Amino acid sequence: MTRSQVNNNELAERCEYNSGLLVYGYLSRELGRYYTRDTNREIFLIELAKDIVEKM
């Protein structure tokens, strides 16, 4: 699995959300323990999430 950094607006486009703000809300509520952000505010998975995905 490769790390693919992405921002809220890019994710909104990929997931057919109307805005990056909706993505931010969802991520914060449901997936906050599985990702972090870099200094550019791009999202990437933490090791816990990578481990879960690799076991699927």
Q: What is the tens place of the pLDDT at every residue in 12-55?
A: 999 999 999 999 999 999 999 999 998 988 888 889 998 998 99
On the question of pLDDT at 56 being above 90, the answer is no
Range of the domain at 30: 8-55
pLDDT at 41: 87
- Is there a domain that residue 45 lies in? yes
- Is there a domain that residue 21 lies in? yes
Question: Considering the entire predicted model, what is its pTM?
Answer: 0.71
- Is there a domain that residue 12 lies in? yes
What integer best gives the mean pLDDT of the chain? 88
Q: Which alpha helices (DSSP H) does 1-56 contain, by range?
A: 8-15, 20-26, 47-55
How many domains does one find in the chain? Answer: 1
- Is there a domain that residue 22 lies in? yes
Counted residue by residue, the chain has a size of 56
For residue 8, name the pLDDT band (cuts at 50, 70, 90).
very high
